[in-house]
Amino acid sequence: MSMKKLLSFAFVLVFVICSAFLHENQDSIRELYSRPISHWPKPTIDSGVIWSEFKSLPRLDTSYFSLMEQPDVKLGKLLFFDPLLSGSNQISCSSCHNPQTSWGDHLTVPVGHDHQVGTRNTISLLNVQARKSMFWDGRAKNLEEQALFPIEAHHEMAMDLTKLIPKLKAIPGYRELFIEAYGDEDFSMPEVMKALAAFQRTLTSRRSRFDEFLDGKHNALTDQEIQGMHLFRTKARCMNCHNGQYLTDEDFHNIGLTYYKRKYEDLGRYEVTKNPADVGKFRTPSLRDVMNTAPWMHNGLFEDIIGLLNLYNSGMVMNNPKTPEQHADPMYPRTDPLLKELNLTKEEIQSIAAFLKAVTATKYRMNRPESLPR
């Protein structure tokens, strides 16, 4: 046999062996995750990290439709879509939290009053009822408190709150709706905030193929998606922050995107707490419907999921202090020690991206109100 034929034969043999190994590995991983979730391989979790196992979302039932007919929810929906809540009468909550774009806006940062641009990416309102704090920096403790910030922010809706209630009370339709919801036409801002919060609590993700898999339909995910889920849980270390039913720990972390003393600088949670240890920390976003909510991160600078996963793969250690001056600066951002260099292959990163697509449900595009009280 000639050397050329021998080399060709050897190449084919190696390819066949590698393919067989790959299929065997995929079959074994599928088998591991076809067991009850309590018998799945344990995720890679660092010492001291509080985490919870994956949990599927409930199936929608007829109670959802009766919920949407509750007086406070109906009122909250109308207020949410009404531009009268802005100083210009041109901007509503839905201008940034659009039902057609998974309750975000698909912009790097939002555009508000007088075409002013914000500094942080619009967070989707999906599953906001499960959040333990609001905004990227956690400055609001609940939905009622959260509602006030964008309404009066000069670069968002720019509404003078002393003028909002008289504006709404001048509309008979709103007076009737407030009576129906709260029993009194002499309403004020607390009732407006309650109504907006009641509506936003109805904005939940639909079930994805990931949920079907969790509930025992083991053909709902492909081999690549299951491999991605396994990597998400183990080698990629994602579950240290993204765990539980909504794939978030509801905590704050510095992942190396502070841009300290540079363009795009954002000190994150420090702006709320004034604690130097919080410089560059931002709330862990839920990964539910993540592929419907690009661009990503607090600054909205990342539109490519593979590029973003490559950043995590690096461990972001390049952003830690290096010089004596940086070490001496109490404000210099320190990347969370949960981030480590991962050494994921290109194929493994593709598998994790495939898993994130499986976590993403079909978009539900709620219809806007056909008319508003006037």
pLDDT of res. 2? 61
pLDDT of res. 1? 55
pLDDT of res. 6? 53
Mean predicted lDDT score pLDDT of the chain: 93
The domain defined by 70-200 carries CATH number 1.10.760.10: yes
Q: Which stretches of the chain score pLDDT less than 70?
A: 1-27
pLDDT of res. 11? 52
pLDDT of res. 364? 81
pLDDT of res. 12? 46
> Mind listing the pLDDT tens digit for each residue in 190-245?
999 999 999 999 999 999 999 999 999 999 999 999 999 999 999 999 999 999 99
The domain defined by 37-56+207-359 carries CATH number 1.20.140.10: no
pTM: 0.89
| CATH 1.10.760.10 residue spans of the chain | 37-56+207-359, 70-200
pLDDT of res. 19? 42
pLDDT of res. 17? 44
If DSSP states are collapsed to H, E and C, what string results for the chain? CCHHHHHHHHHHHHHHHHHHHHHHHHHHHHHHCCCCHHHCCCCCCCCCCCCCCCCCCCCCCCHHHHHHCCHHHHHHHHHHCCHHHCCCCCCCHHHCCEHHHCCECCCCCCECHHHCECCCCCCCCCCHHHCCCECCCCCECCHHHHHHHHHHCCCCCCCCHHHHHHHHHCCHHHHHHHHHHHCCCCCCHHHHHHHHHHHHCCCCCCCCHHHHHHCCCCCCCCHHHHHHHHHHHCCCCHHHCCCCCCCCCCCEECCCCCCCCCCCCCCECHHHHCCHHHCCEEECCCCCCHHHCCCECCCCCECCHHHHHHHHHHCCHHHCCCCHHHHHCCCCCCCCCCCCCCCCCHHHHHHHHHHHHHHCCCCCCCCCCCCCCC
pLDDT of res. 5? 54
pLDDT of res. 363? 82
